[in-house]
Each structure stands twice: as C-alpha cells, then as structure tokens.
Amino acid sequence: MIPAQRDDLEAVAAAAATGDPIAQGAFVRATQAEVWRLAAALVDRDTADDLTQETFLRALKALPSFEGRAGVRTWLLSIARRTCADHLRATVRRRRLGDRLLSAPADPGPDDTGLVDALDLLHRLDPPRRAAFVLTQVTGLSYAEAAAVEGVPVGTIRSRVARARAELVDALGTSPLEPASRGTVRQPCENTQAGTDHEPAATKLS
C-alpha cells in the first residue's frame, strides 16, 4: 500500500470510528478483499465470507478505541487473524466432542483430477508458518507488520516464511515462488484474489 493510500485509509477509518455509516461502508469496501484472502488462506474458502463479516463486526465495534500505535491495516488484519483462530479453536472443540478430532483443522480433500491447488498446499503447512507466509506473500504485509499481527519478533516471521517457502517448493517439485528481495517490502495488489478465483460476498453490517 503506497503512502497516499495508507493516509486515505487512516482518514476513512477515523471517520468510520465516529459511527458515520457512509465512512464505515467505505472502510469495508477498501479492505474487504484483503481480509477475505487472509481468511480463505488460514481457514477455507467456504468459511471465508462468514469470517470476513465477523471480522468487520468486531473491527467496527472496536474502531472508536483504536489508538493508532500500528497502522489501521495491520490492526484490522490482527482482528481477522484472531477471528480465524477463534473459529479454528471452536472447530477443534466440536470435533473433540464428537470424537472426530483431526490433526489439521482445515484440510480440503483432493479434487477429482488429483490436482492440488494453492490453498490446499497452504493448508498443509504448519499453522504458524502458514500465517506468516500468507500475511507477507499473499496480503503483502512487511515482515515488521506481520510480526505485529502475530506478536512475535521479525526474525521469527522471516524464519517461518523461509521454511514455508521451502516446504511449498518441495511439495510442488519446482521453484515458482521466488524469495522477496532482502529489505524490500512487498506491496499488495489491490482488488486481486490471490490463490483463488472466488469473489468475497458483500459484507452485511446490519
């Protein structure tokens, strides 16, 4: 996100924090695709719409108390990350109660052709590595921003991303994922659904 866009988003968030419904709608539209991509990658595509809506319900309720110590985008993705984690914990609890505990909380099965898509590969990663990879390589956060979302040192994020990339390359049997240049912050591609052709449903705030 370029500085001008970041400043615009901060301004929209400030207006949304006052309860202005127009500003709230603009805030959702500006960030919805990014939140959906994170939810789809961390959980699954079928649940991403519901998790996106829950994320914005939590975020809009919390906006008046947002202190700006991190950028609003990092703050929002932190809420999305916690929303996904809450969902996965609840899913595991339900499976335990039903004596159907699975080792991976979200593991889509292979399709009829036997091909494994990008999201399936991501879900095979260890959850912390998957989160670090998605935050930096899919949503485009810097390593520092991803570290703020995860609450870990920057070095831990770098290590997790490197290991995730190595596992993905090994699974693919090739090397389509080139490491980002050292010291370079990847910028997100606006309005692009990385790793999926599904469009997020419009988030309803009512």
DSSP calls for 132-162: HHIIIIIS---HHHHHHHHTS-HHHHHHHHH
Residue 101's CATH number:
1.10.1740.10
**Phi (first) and psi of residue 136, to 5 degrees:** -90, -35
Nearest residue to 43 (alpha-carbon basis) of 103, 133, 104, 96: 104
Using the predicted structure, report yes or no on whether residue 23 has a pLDDT greater than 90.
Answer: yes
Domain count along the chain: 1
Q: For residue 27, is pLDDT > 50?
A: yes
Contacts of 145 (CB under 8 A, 6+ apart): 70, 71, 73, 74, 135
With respect to residue 193, please indicate whether it lies within any of the assigned structural domains.
no
Per-residue model confidence (pLDDT) at position 175: 45
Percent of the chain at pLDDT > 90 equals 42
Residue 58, judged by CB atoms within 10 A of its CB (0-12, 13-18, 19+), counts as middle
pLDDT for 1: 55
Please check whether residue 197 lies inside any domain of the structure: no
Alpha helices (H) along the chain? 3-17, 21-42, 45-62, 72-97, 118-123, 127-133, 143-150, 154-172
103: confidence class by pLDDT, cuts 50, 70, 90: very low
**What tokens were used for 83?**
């929303």
Residue 70 is predicted with a pLDDT of 84
Cβ neighbourhood burial of 105 (10 Å; 0-12, 13-18, 19+): buried
Q: Is 69 part of any domain?
A: yes
pLDDT band, very low/low/confident/very high, at 189 (cuts 50, 70, 90): very low
Q: Identify which has the larger pLDDT, 117 or 160.
A: 160
Residue 15, in any domain of the structure = yes
What is the predicted pLDDT for the residue at 28?
A: 96
Residue 53: which domain range?
A: 3-172
The whole-angstrom separation of Cα 36 and Cα 24 is: 17
pLDDT in tens, 150-182: 889 999 999 999 999 998 888 877 544 444 443
Kindly state the average pLDDT of the residues 117-122. Answer: 72
Query: How confident is the model at residue 114, as a pLDDT?
Result: 33
Q: What is the pLDDT of residue 123?
A: 82
Whole-number pLDDT of residue 183: 39
Q: With a cut of 60, say whether residue 188 has pLDDT above it.
A: no
In a domain, 205, yes or no: no
Indicate if the alpha-carbon torsion angle 66, 17, 36, 189 is positive or negative: negative
Asked if residue 68 has pLDDT above 50, the reply is yes
Tell whether 181 is covered by a domain.
Answer: no
177 is a domain residue: no
* Assigned domain for 195 exists: no
Q: Which has more confidence, 204 or 49?
A: 49
